[in-house]
Amino acid sequence: MSKTKLSILLPVLSVFATQLAGCNTPAPSKGDLMIKQGGPFIEAGIKWNEGNRLVKDGNKRIAEGRDTINEGKKIIAQGELQVKDGQNMIEQGKKLLEEGEMLYQTGRPQESAYPSYPAPQPAESIEVFPLSD
């Protein structure tokens, strides 16, 4: 490339690059514009910017709070399920206790809602090994 073309191209590229960089900067807020106007608008601009910051922070906290509430609802649902399972287990335990007490008092088993398993039968021959001292 010739030197003259390069000398023309560089300023054009630098202007283009400067404008691209300007696109990345955020537009000034209303508060910033008020502060730039000066005079009685400075205090109003400062308050505007502070209020805008508070609104953004508040919206962020609201979103975080909603997420926390949703997580809490899931934990509550899990807890309620555990309580229900625990209550069912307690009821089963009460029934078994009542059946055991009835068996103890009458000497005979009552019909149970739970499956019964046959009692183990004694073995025909049992080898006994003497304990050595």
* Assigned domain for 12 exists: no
Question: For the whole model, what pTM was predicted?
Answer: 0.45
The helix (run of H) or strand (run of E) holding residue 101 is: helix 41-106
Mean pLDDT calculated for residue range 115-128: 63
CA 82 to chain centre: 19
Identify whether 13 is part of a domain. Answer: no
User: What percentage of the chain has pLDDT greater than the value 70?
Assistant: 61
Q: Is residue 34 part of a domain?
A: yes
d(CA 30, CA 37): 11
Q: Is residue 47 part of a domain?
A: yes
Phi-psi category of residue 20: left, alpha or beta, with phi > 0 → left and psi -120 to 50 → alpha: alpha
pLDDT at 39: 84
Q: Give the rounded distance of the alpha carbon of 58 from its chain centre.
A: 20
110/29: higher pLDDT = 29
Determine the 3-state secondary structure of 47 from DSSP.
Answer: helix
Residues above pLDDT 90, as percent of the chain: 37
Angle between helices 30-37 and 41-106 (to 10 degrees): 150
State which residues form the domain around 102: 28-106
Residue 92 lies in a domain: yes
Q: For the segment 59-100, what is each residue's pLDDT rounded down to a tens digit?
A: 999 999 999 999 999 999 999 999 999 999 999 999 998 888
